Structure 1
């Protein structure tokens, strides 16, 4: 009997040790685009903290040697960092920047040169492409495992988002809301085979969708298009959020089309610029949260919303579109709790017309592809924004378009308007229970990078003027600032390897919209 008890004790202790190691690995890694499926971006690491962050120094740089719109969010699993560009996916040592493997995919020259990252699950990596495919790779070798075609680039559809992966499924959607007749779709793919498990339209589909009839009927009533004008929009161009406890997928849905001309699409245009909640296993409708209904500024919701439990015990979802506001809902009652301004707002309710109008935030202002973060230590949301205004006018000549053509309702020579010559950015901290602003930092350029709070009392971020920052999470004081080799438009991550904490920045983005100097895409690693 004693031997049996001893054996049982050994087994239990072994299981505990294994569980502890697994927990340490989860804590140490950065395994998803926003670290967790719930998108808080909070890292429970404190080796780098308020007392020593000023000593942070650059340890290594990996140059991707590509001149692209580098918006990718890197992943770290073990001691390997994975990152994508428009055509590349690669693995490097996350401590030394030494390359492990690199794969380049052929792509049409007309495909958009942007990709926002990969997902990881059970030894596989998953990514989308500008040609409308989703690809899976062996994470150890880079060998391609499967390819699934989801979008038609001839129509202007692409798959630029970083997927998320859970429970044997990969979740991703199609982008292309600026193209005539394109309708956004959300997919779940089998992680092992790439087979489609379900497909859900974010706007009324042309054909009935079995299982989502109520959702589609509800949406169709909010579009007053004439019979010869197709419902357009609802693309999803960034990552999603998932509640693994409830099995719910939170989808940030993009703008309606045409972007600014509401006269051809009267109504609130469900589910564009909404957070759409789906059953992750079936794709069936569960709820929706209104952020920017009847949009006429191109203020779409691009960034993943964040799910958080506040200090008061309330479970909330927070979304930040390009409208310069943080919208927070209670996910139990679905009640709107508060809306907090987080950047400059001017002429934001004045209707657009054929006469040019300057409004703020502009069509490229507010929160872009990296969304809000949350720290349970401070009970604060943190968000980075572009403080940038736009002058726009409706061009009636651009409303008559054909399938696949750009359809914004504006002069095609400046389809997103004329942006102000001067720009800036904000990092804003908001109380998650009250909506009150705790602190603000005004940067000299937009803050479009990932925002990363840590257990060490820090918030890391970067701006489009090639600066990296570490803020005191409680008051916004700048504790560390350094130069980067390019504009910070991608992920900002932190992780542990062999007991040492590192901080990584994706830098070197270029853009046809944001006026930054061209620079080769780079991963920059810092440590003490």
Structure 2
């Protein structure tokens, strides 16, 4: 049965154990735990909870419910009972309709997620434990549920191009306000056009010289795979990364050492680019588009993530750079058109936005646009919003395929980002002046615009109230703007200067930037100078804790003295 958490808690309070008075009994020690709610689509939430009596039946379940209700997280569950036992079976979190919900406990020794040894009803936790509930799929042979990508060591990863299945371009991570270069790694590979994924303590990036895994803290090269090369951006799945290649294959690599787990050929032959679309993983299915460089039809392809077996293929115009969005059992993708082998730079119709049934690949609708669509569509409620190379941004009803609104903002290949009621669009073609627009999701009306130092062809990221993007010009620059006002907050110019086509991403408090100069950069918050010596936390601690009332009076006196001193410096 499906119930709102609020209703569940209202019922559950009838079964809560009564409070034990400290005067009459000594209760079990409460345990503070962390809970990960992973929705299986690249979005997730962390919460803190207290389990009052960890040994009691349902104690962890009650803590999970309370944390979910506090965060507005919807949970569906059912009660089961039979000869094999009884308990609580969680069927969905966040209304994502997953194949299953996995329950995991963090193993801090092995630094991995272990499957919970018992159900949530009987799960006993200790102080400092971390529990994960994740919408996921399971291996059909071993019945092992696939674990979540976020971990206590890397709590805010970026698992795929555009961040999630809706292609929102948002990150749950904080963004540095005063960044400096944490590390600078020269990969030796020129023209990094892909966007990195960050997970498992590593930065994964594909280049035309192969794929790299870099240590997230030091930038050191963990492994390389020279054969897995191209323009596609990696997607994280079950301690592996999946990406398209210039050889016309889609490949799954072990995230720990770069070994090939499977490789499936989707294009019979390639000339240069191969597969430039980036894969999206929805539970146990992979969706990706193909680019036909010989001028024939392209395809949208679905594969099984476990072994790379093709589930279905749908012929269409070439899908060049655009990566699918997946929502409401539908796959949405931008269609570039038929490659013109005479001009070798243009595409002929059909181009537009294609919607397919996620399970079967059957076409639901196709909306023709005035120009090729290289950007990835973003899901904004009932709308599918996508820019075209013709300069228009289209908002299309996701169910019917009918146009809702259209805005002419000189858009191009940059994929938009969504935050609240605003969609952010980068614009201009190569060599153009460039601009970023903030548009109202409901109407397409502009809220503000910003002119950087060149065309915005990399895709946009929103994190921590900031809007990040890069310019594809000779001195390519990463900009961070206030997402509400469009005011410039900071900028970063990589050295040596070069074009920036790969998109910056934000993960675990850092910004990761690929450059055509072959370098990967990690930007992090510069160290602060700290509070004045007279107000160091250690001094406050000793005065208040050991000084009692007199200590508090002393603290107040110090604060007043500091304020008076500062006021006298400013003058009357």
- Tell me the TM-score normalised to structure 1 length: 0.68
Match of 2:391 in 1: 324
**Structure 1 counterpart of 2:139:** none
Matching residue within 354, 376, 380 for 1:304:
376
Shift of 1:96: 2.0
Q: Show the counterpart of 2:337.
A: 255
- The whole-number CA distance in structure 1 between the counterparts of 2:468 and 2:257 is 31
1:453 aligns with 2:462: yes
1:440 equivalent in alignment to 2:449: yes
Tell me the residue number matched to 1:228: none
2:412 to 367, 375, 386: 367
Tell me the CA shift for residue 11 of structure 1. 5.6
2:236 paired residue number: 120
Q: Secondary structure of the equivalent of 2:231?
A: strand
Larger Rg: 2
Cα distance, 1:371 vs. partner? 0.7
CA contact (8 A) 1:151 1:157 kept: no
Residues 247, 270 of structure 2: 8 Å contact kept: no
Q: How does 1:19-168 map to 2 (within 5 A)?
A: 19=132, 25=151, 28-46=156-174, 48=176, 53=177, 55-67=178-190, 69-105=191-227, 114-153=230-269, 158-168=274-284
Greater relative contact order (Cα 8 A, min sep 6): structure 1 or 2? Answer: 1
Q: Distance in 2 between matches of 1:160 and 1:47?
A: 28
Distance, in Å, in 2 between the alignment partners of 1:7 and 1:237 is 54
Shift of the alpha carbon at 1:459? 0.3
CA contact (8 A) 1:457 1:473 kept: yes
Matches within 5 A, 1:204-215: none
Residue 74 of structure 1 deviates from its aligned partner by 0.5
> What is the number of residues matched between the two proteins?
390
CA RMSD of aligned residues (A): 2.8
**Deviation, structure 1 residue 42:** 1.3
Given that 2:166 and 2:326 are in contact with CA atoms closer than 8 Å, whether structure 1 keeps it comes out as yes
How far the C-alpha of 1:333 sits from its partner, in A, is: 4.4
Q: Secondary structure at the match of 1:102?
A: strand
Q: Would the alpha carbon gap of residues 328 and 115 (structure 1) be closer, same or farther in structure 2, given more than 3 Å must change? A: same
Q: 2:298 aligns with which of 184, 192, 195?
A: 184
What secondary structure is seen at the aligned counterpart in 2 of 1:444?
coil
1:482 deviates by 2.1
Cα drift, residue 260 of structure 1: 9.7
Q: Does 1:480 align with 2:480?
A: no
Kept after mapping to 1: 8 A contact 2:510/2:524:
yes
What is the aligned partner in structure 1 of residue 424 from structure 2? 382
User: 2:272 & 2:456 partners in 1: Cα distance?
Assistant: 28
Counterparts of 1:318 and 1:284, CA distance in 2: 21
Q: Among residues 355, 358, 363, which one is paired with 1:277 in the alignment? A: 355
CA distance in 2, matches of 1:152, 1:235: 14
What whole-Å deviation, never above 9, does each CA across 1:168-188 have from its counterpart, x for those lacking one?
1221222035x34x1111111
- Decide whether aligned partners of structure 1 residues 42 and 285 sit closer, same or farther in structure 2, where only a CA change above 3 A counts: same
Instruction: Rate the CA distance shift 1:104–1:157 in 2: closer, same or farther, 3 A.
Output: closer
Q: Which runs of 5+ in 2 are unaligned?
A: 1-14, 18-52, 65-119, 124-129, 135-147, 526-572
Aligned to 2:319: 236
Structure 1 residue 254, shift from structure 2 partner: 1.1
Q: CA deviation at 1:444?
A: 2.7
